[in-house]
Amino acid sequence: MTRFAAPIAEQIWDIKYRLKEADGTPIDGSVEDTWHRIARSLAEVEKDPAAWEPKFFAALEDFKYLPAGRITAGAGTARSVTLFNCFVMGTVPDNMGGIFDMLKEAALTMQQGGGIGYDFSTIRPKGADVKGVAADASGPLSFMDVWDAMCRTIMSAGSRRGAMMATMRCDHPDIEDFITAKQDPARLRNFNLSVLATDPFMEAVKADGPWDLIFDGKVYKTVQARDLWNQMMRATYDYAEPGVIFIDRINAMNNLSYCETIAATNPCGEQPLPPYGACLLGSINLARLVGQPFEAGAALDEAALDDLVATAVRMMDNVVDASRFPLEAQAQEAQAKRRIGLGVTGLADALLMVGLRYGSDEAARQTERWLHRIARAAYLASVELAREKGPFPLFNAEKFLASGHMRDMDEDVRAAIAEHGIRNALLTSIAPTGTISLYAGNVSSGIEPVFAYSYTRKVLQKDGSRTEEEVTDYAVQMWREKFGDADLPDYFVNAQTLAPLDHVKMQAAAQKWVDSSISKTINCPEDISFDAFKDVYMEAYETGCKGCTTYRPNDVTGSVLSVSESSDNAPEADSGADVVYISEPLDRPQALEGNTYKLKWPDSEHAIYITINDVVINGHRRPFEVFINSKNMEHFAWTVALTRMISAVFRRGGDVSFVVEELKAVFDPRGGAWMAGKYVPSILAAIGGVIETHLVQIGFIEGEGMGLKTDPKAEVMVAGERPRGPACPSCGQYDLQMVEGCMTCMSCGYSKCG
């Protein structure tokens, strides 16, 4: 008997979470082995591991408690990876040496699998004086480009590229450039962007007052706050970025406001963190705790919930001691505050099981009640841990209980904290749970509504074949098993049909009892008016949300999963997404078009000859392979290596313009040379320039230094079809969709958020 509700769930476990030898031989023979591995690892830090391991296993069993993917994949493996999902890095100094020290720390963190967040507000604006060098500053956006290039280069643990969040204050002089930065389709592809909106700014927006853009005490420009707000709203209306973070509310409600200031979040926004802050994540699967689903007596088992939350808090607290950290500063920060982020998944399914329509007033009230119950159980469990193991080192009872969040906490919980302390400074967060929710039987993700009742995926089998599998929402499948083909009740609703303000209502209801923040995407219809769209953000601010992320499908961002509408409430289905877990190389035709270029490096006896061949896909030329040759034998090894590596990248397809950027950025410590009136810092940079010239000539990029004009795949359409937005950079499918703040490929699982 398998524990998995669907073949796709087992497939995800096998590929993402199952422990294997280096040659692919499984070590975890079953999912029970995976649960035992995690339970054993997290029990090892206890005084009595043998007593706690079975309790931890019971919490994991049948997917009731879902540790985040990094814990599930990494705990008990002895691999040098972090079990923490996300980090905010140190404050970026406003000097060149400090900036590149921060870049190194970011690379080390992403190398071990952590997503990172940065506040770039600390870097002086473009054009500001740089003392001592008689030059003008290039501004924070230029350094964000450097971070972006680094992120492309570093492959994080588990073969996942790093994910980054960049924030900038609404009063920084470069905020307008920040807002529009990603409208260049080739720029900052590895970043999520969010504006830090302060309370004074939001009040100025409402009053249509002036707003100073200021740095280091100097006012660079004064704008109308509402005009700046409209720029932000127009950018996210058209391009789905930037998001908005209500930073003053975050700091005012922070339990640790007495000892830290927050200016950035992790990539998906659910964890506002201080410099070097880190958080681990896990979710209670509410869909597994509902008794008598779809019947008159359907209800969440609250006693079971309390017990499960208490065990989960203990497990997560143990992760702080069991995990490795990329940087010592991160380890010290985690030990000093012992932050955890316990959340939920399957909320929408649980609401359906008890007969409530997601987005209704009663569903919002029920969500608030459930989240309140979880908060109580989590805080009381942490108090018990403090009695046993001691409170977190920076605990100060008077200041902790005076924070904005704790002022609303139940009096018995406050009294327990005052008497015994608390083990964890913050305990709750609602994280994206897309993959682990699918692994748990395709329960609804986080606090999101059901995204689609059912759809079809082609699942890659071990023998290389693909089978077509229907992926059905957990609650819908349960309804089918109980009632057969009977129509779904009216209270079934999904993300495509839910009104945007109903999304906001649910986020606000959950936020009241979540001490960190929430990752949630508010789906908006394509035809929503700009004014109504702006109202969504203002409503989020007015109702107590800590941030807001929306997604409106259009020609730039792409379409959402298609929803079929019929009178019998049949589940909607997409056209058959193709699961490709590693992108397949483009096939090489028998003959290719190409050009050969002669490159003569000054003071070199022999020229270098560069041949670039192109493949034609649907009438568009794109680079396919490179050959680099020279009679100078000193060049032989590196030219062969470069030939193979660049050709391998080109054959994978997608946005390969970064090859030019990386090569042109290489500096030779012995010095470069002047060529055609331009200083070229190295032979490799010169080769990059040749490749760039070729890409411009074939129309793959628009011009020198301008990056990819468009993804050529994105321009290929079936006759009569609307534009579908960009193709997935990993598998090339047109299945990129906004899911909980991240552009995620519904075919292969690629996400720029890691």
pLDDT at residue 84 tops 80: yes
Report whether 318 contacts 338 (CB < 8 A).
no
Identify the band that residue 108 occupies on the pLDDT scale cut at 50, 70 and 90. Answer: confident
Name the amino acid, one letter, at 440.
A
Q: Give the whole-number percent of the chain exceeding pLDDT 90.
A: 57
Domain ranges of the chain: 86-130+143-265, 593-714
pLDDT band of 460, cuts 50, 70, 90 = low
343: its two tokens: 């959340």
In the sheet where 466-472 sits, what is the strand order? 466-472, 454-460, 577-578
User: Residue 678 above 60 pLDDT?
Assistant: yes
Predicted pLDDT of residue 471: 85
Residue 725 pLDDT level (bands cut at 50, 70, 90)? low
Q: Is the pLDDT of residue 464 over 80?
A: no
Which pLDDT score is estimated for 159? 41
Residue of higher predicted confidence among 326 and 170: 170
Confidence of residue 134 (pLDDT cuts 50, 70, 90): low
**pLDDT tens-digit readout, 335-346:** 999 999 999 999
Q: In angstroms, rounded to a whole number, what is the distance separating the alpha carbons of residues 409 and 391? A: 18
pLDDT band at 5, cuts 50/70/90? Answer: confident
- Determine the average pLDDT of the residues in 529-534: 97
What is the rounded distance in angstroms from the CA atom of residue 341 to the CA atom of residue 277?
Answer: 12
Percent of the chain topping pLDDT 70: 84
User: By the 8 A CB rule, do 691 and 627 touch?
Assistant: no
Rounded mean pLDDT, 236-263: 96
Residue 432 or residue 721, greater confidence: 432
Residues contacting residue 309 through CB under 8 Å, at least 6 positions apart: 284, 342, 374, 377, 378, 381
pLDDT of residue 265: 94
Each residue of 488-520: pLDDT tens digit?
999 999 887 899 999 999 999 999 999 999 999
Asked about 266 being catalytic, the answer comes back as: yes
Checking if the pLDDT of 718 tops 60, the result is no
Question: Would you say 669 and 682 are in contact if contact means Cβ atoms under 8 Å apart?
Answer: no
pLDDT band at 736 (very low <50, low <70, confident <90, very high): low
Measured CA to CA, the distance from residue 268 to residue 115 in angstroms comes to 9
> Strands, E, within 131-253: which ranges?
135-136, 155-156, 160-161, 164-169, 191-197, 210-215, 218-224, 243-246
Residues 554-559: what's their mean pLDDT?
65
Q: Catalytic one among 10, 53, 241, 270? A: 270
Residue 753, pLDDT score: 52
Q: Of 754 and 487, which is predicted with more confidence?
A: 487
The catalytic position among 190, 266, 424, 494 is 266
Mean pLDDT of the chain, nearest integer: 85
323/68 Cα distance (integer angstroms): 13
Could you say which of 86, 151, 268, 731 is catalytic? 268
Band of the pLDDT at 52, cuts 50, 70, 90?
A: very high
Q: Please indicate whether residue 268 is annotated as part of the active site.
A: yes
- In this prediction, residue 706 has a pLDDT band, given cuts at 50, 70 and 90, of low
* Tokens at 13, concatenated: 């476990």
**DSSP characters for 293-362?**
TTSTT-EE-HHHHHHHHHHHHHHHHHHHHH---SSHHHHHHHHHH---EEEEE-HHHHHHHTT--TTSHH
pLDDT average, residue stretch 286-313: 97
More confident residue, 581 or 474: 474
For 345-380, give one letter per residue: b (16+ CB within 10 A) or e: bbbbbbbbbbebbbbbeebbebbbebbebbbbbbbb
* Confidence (pLDDT) at 456: 75
Per-residue pLDDT tens digits for 633-677? 777 788 888 888 888 888 866 667 778 888 887 877 677 788 877
pLDDT for 598 beyond 70: yes
Residue 739 pLDDT class (50, 70, 90 cuts): low
Q: Average the pLDDT over 407-423 and give the result.
A: 97
Q: Which residue has the higher pLDDT, 225 or 730?
A: 225
Q: Is residue 576 pLDDT above 70, yes or no?
A: no
pLDDT on residue 580 = 27
Of 229 and 722, which is predicted with more confidence? 229
Phi/psi at 183 (5° precision): -75, -15
Average pLDDT over residues 398-426: 97
pLDDT in tens, 267-288: 899 999 999 999 899 999 999 9
Query: 28-32, 468-472, 562-566, 668-672: which has the highest mean pLDDT?
Result: 28-32
